[in-house]
Amino acid sequence: MATCRGRVLQAISKCEWTLLSPFVRRLSSCNVPSELERVGFIGVGNMGFHMANNLVNAGYKVAVHDKNRDAMKKFLEKGVVAKETPFEVAEASDVVITMLPSSSHVLDVYTGQNGLLHGGSLLRPWLLIDSSTVDPQTSRRLSTIISKCALKEKKGYAKTPFMLDAPVSGGVLGAEAGTLTFMVGGLEEVYLAAKPLFLSMGRHAIYCGGPGNGVAAKICNNLVMAVSMLGVSEAFCLGQSLGITANTLTKIFNSSSARCWSSDTYNPVPGVMEDVPSSRNYTGGFSSKLMAKDLSLAATSANEVGLKCPLMHQAQEIYTELCKEGHEYKDFSSAFRHYYPGKDEL
Ligand code: NAD
């Protein structure tokens, strides 16, 4: 089986590497590089709206598309161009970014009727970035399809179009504040070329390796997030049952070996921290529905590589149950109240 580095090197030799390098050098010297100037953005929901908005504010010429017309209205009011189909977006763009709910939506936007690939194997944009959280297999499949396409107009720096998978961490608040972290898979030189875009929407962009590695990193990150949130919630509940307040336990965790993001930044116990979902009835965060989706992506991937992941399966069961009980739109830290019998801190 080809290693990740092997896959990257193979891809590099395929795509006129030497032509791309001067392009990357040129990009480092200006704010909105002309090769990235016209950005198409597809999927302007909770996350995509803010991300596209930050690109508009950074000076990019943005064209948007969403199958929900109401989502596009907010852009029309700002004078941003709205397109009827993904293909129309592609025809007007140097770069197309997708931010869609799941793999099936991404495949539909790429390969469906009037999708990005509607024109066959000739593409207008030289760069396609998918920021949706999908499974690595879907990203790799699309990346292979794109690598077999050609550009409608050669732009001097690349003969073929490129694809990056670049899912994000940071949630809706991070999208709005422009502080997201991008985890990027694909060719490294292409990642470097696209970095100004990432840094217009986020604070960090981390290169993860070949195609699909960005989404692989994202689902691993969310697996840790789910398991550590459940571990912390379980411990707070046990503590409360044994007569220790969550405030006391939080002080202990945060100054000892149990400290983690779920204890010091995103505490699940209402009344312990301000400005976190637990302080506002678990609203306005990362939903249990999205967590269940990410855990199912992780489970599919683990299954494919034959890896035993008992904690992942337990976490998946818990979040699936929370969703079935009607808490799917509550923040995932609500497991403390709705799965465990956790009590508010008075
Ligand atoms: P969302 O449902 O709010 O937005 C998705 C948008 O895509 C919607 O406006 C929808 O109308 C549009 N859409 C769906 N199918 C389409 C199609 N075929 N053509 C055009 N538009 C279509 O979702 P979101 O919360 O913005 O999440 C987007 C992605 O980001 C997901 O993959 C999610 O897992 C990931 N993510 C979300 C968060 C979060 O906190 N919300 C955090 C990190 C990552």
The residue extents of the domains of the chain are 4-210, 217-338
Q: Work out the burial of residue 320: count CB atoms within 10 Å of its CB; fewer than 13 is exposed, 13-18 middle, 19 or more buried.
A: middle
Tell me the CA–centroid distance for residue 42 and ligand 1, in Å. Answer: 9
Neighbouring C-beta atoms of residue 174, cutoff 10 Å: 19
Phi, psi of 174 (to 5 degrees): -65, -35
* pLDDT exceeds cutoff 80 at 19: no
Residue 9 has pLDDT above 70, yes or no: no
* Ligand 1 close to Cβ of residue 141 (< 6 A): no
Which tens digits make up the pLDDT trace of 264-294? 999 999 999 999 999 999 998 899 999 999 9
Q: How far is CA 227 from CA 109, 295, 312, in A?
A: 32, 10, 7
Which pLDDT score, from 0 to 100, does residue 77 have?
A: 83
Residue 108 Cβ inside 6 Å of ligand 1? The answer reads yes
Rounded to two decimals, the pTM is: 0.89
45 lines ligand 1 (CB under 6 A): yes
CB 105 within 8 A of CB 132: yes
pLDDT at 31: 62
109 lines ligand 1 (CB under 6 A): yes
For the packed helices 213-241 and 246-254, what is the interaxial angle rounded to 10 degrees?
Answer: 130
Contacts of 163 (CB under 8 A, 6+ apart): 127, 128, 129, 130, 139, 142, 143, 146, 147, 186, 211
* Pocket of ligand 1 contains residue 88 by CB under 6 Å: no
Q: What is the pLDDT of residue 155?
A: 67
* pLDDT score, position 271: 96
Name the residue at shortest CA distance from atom 17 of ligand 1: 67
Question: What is d(CA 219, CA 225) in angstroms, rounded to the nearest whole number?
Answer: 10
What is the rounded distance in angstroms from the CA atom of residue 204 to the CA atom of residue 82?
Answer: 28
56 alpha carbon – ligand 1 mean position (Å): 19
pLDDT in tens, 83-138: 999 999 999 999 999 999 999 999 999 999 999 999 899 999 999 999 999 999 99
Dump pLDDT digits (tens) for 234-246.
999 999 999 999 9
Say which residues have a Cβ less than 8 Å from residue 47's Cβ, sequence separation at least 6: 99, 131, 168, 171, 172, 175
Task: Return phi, psi of residue 108, to 5°.
Answer: -65, -45
By C-alpha distance, which of 173, 175, 172, 213 is closest to 191?
213
Ligand 1 pocket check for 277: Cβ under 6 Å: no
Report whether residue 42 contacts ligand 1, using a CB cutoff of 6 Å. yes
CA-133 nearest atom, ligand 1: 32
The 10s digit of each residue's pLDDT in 324-336 is: 999 999 999 999 9
From 65, 67, 179, 181, mutation site for ligand 1 pocket: most ligand atoms within 8 A of C-beta: 67
Residue type, 157: Y
CA distance 277 to 230: 15
Cα(147) to ligand 1 centroid in Å equals 25
**For ligand 1, mutation pick of 72, 100, 114 (most atoms within 8 Å of CB):** 100
Q: Is 43 close to ligand 1, i.e. is its CB under 6 Å away?
A: yes
Taking each continuous run of H as one helix and of E as one strand, the counts in the chain are 15, 11
H-helix segments, the chain: 4-14, 17-27, 46-57, 69-76, 86-91, 103-111, 136-147, 171-177, 188-201, 213-241, 246-254, 261-264, 288-305, 310-322, 335-338
What pLDDT band is residue 18 in, cutting at 50, 70 and 90?
very low
Top-level CATH class of 217-338?
mainly alpha
| 107 Cβ inside 6 Å of ligand 1 | no
Q: Give the β-pairing of 168-169 and 180-185.
A: antiparallel
Annotated active-site residue in 61, 73, 195, 218: 218
Q: Name the packing angle between helices 213-241 and 136-147 (round to 10°).
A: 170
pLDDT at 313 over 90: yes
Ligand 1 centroid, distance to 342 Cα (angstroms): 31
Rounded CA separation 162/221 (Å): 25
Distance 47 CA to ligand 1 centre (A): 7
- 20, 157 Cβ separation under 8 angstroms: yes
CA 161–ligand 1 middle distance (angstroms) = 24
* CATH fit for domain 4-210, picks 3.40.50.720, 1.10.3720.10, 3.30.420.40, 3.90.800.10: 3.40.50.720
Q: Let me know if 154 is a catalytic residue.
A: no
- Cα separation, 184 vs 188, in Å, equals 9
The alpha carbon of 250 and the centre of ligand 1 are apart by a number of angstroms equal to: 34
pLDDT per residue over 137-172, tens digit each? 999 999 999 999 999 987 656 778 999 999 999 988
pLDDT in tens, 179-211: 999 999 999 999 999 999 999 999 999 999 999
Identify which of 322, 306, 135 has the alpha carbon closest to the alpha carbon of residue 212: 135
Please tell me if the CB atom of residue 278 comes closer than 6 angstroms to any atom of ligand 1: no
